[in-house]
Amino acid sequence: MSTRSRPLSPFLHYRWQYTNTLSILHRLSGIALTMGFLLLVTGLVAIATGSSGYARAVRLSSSAPGKLLLFFILAAFGYHVSNGIRHLAWDAGFGFDRAHARRTGWLVALAALAIVLGACALFVWGHLRHGP
């Protein structure tokens, strides 16, 4: 069967704009958070079994790659939660017109940034108070 005559998927010929960027980021951050959920359950299991792996994971998380990983999960969290609330508003039937969608899109980006910066500030503040 020839594949040439088949219609293309929309994402192959639509213009790149803020709507699909935000949508794809929502999916990517969701996948990152599935990894985060894996880490959460691993931590719970380690605490329940008294495994020494937990201490090792804590030590790893203070290394540069560990911090980078946590930062990515944090960024994914900030964005996914903010955009998730936007999705809930959509589910309830609000905010579909273009002006609204654009405004809430920016709002989500700002909220995500605020969450990330807030968490980083807390982290630095903790270091200043208790030492590394």
Partner 1 sequence: MALVPLIVWFVIAVVSVPIADPPSVARWIRGGMHALLLIALVLAAAQHSYLGTRVIVEDYVGGFKARVATLVTLQFMHIILAGAGVLSVLRVALGA
Residues forming the site for partner 1 (CB under 8 A): 27, 30-31, 33-34, 37-38, 40-41, 44-50, 54-55, 58, 81, 84-85, 88, 122
Taking the complex as a whole, the smallest distance from the CB of residue 11 to partner 1 amounts, in Å, to: 10
What does the alpha-carbon distance between residue 103 and residue 110 come to, in Å, rounded to a whole number?
A: 11
SS3 42: helix
Of 115, 91, 95, 117, residue with least CA distance to 105: 95
- Identify which of residues 54 and 71 has a Cβ nearer to partner 1 in the complex: 54
| CA geometry: angle 112, 115, 119, nearest 5 deg | 145
Gap between the terminal Cα atoms of the chain: 63
Beta-carbon contacts of residue 68 (< 8 Å; ≥ 6 apart): none
- Identify which of residues 34 and 110 has a Cβ nearer to partner 1 in the complex: 34
Neighbours of 102 (CB within 10 A): 12
- Identify which of residues 59 and 102 has a Cβ nearer to partner 1 in the complex: 59
- Identify which of residues 64 and 99 has a Cβ nearer to partner 1 in the complex: 64
Taking the complex as a whole, the smallest distance from the CB of residue 24 to partner 1 amounts, in Å, to: 10
Q: What is the token pair recorded at 82?
A: 């903010």
Taking the complex as a whole, the smallest distance from the CB of residue 132 to partner 1 amounts, in Å, to: 11
Taking the complex as a whole, the smallest distance from the CB of residue 61 to partner 1 amounts, in Å, to: 8
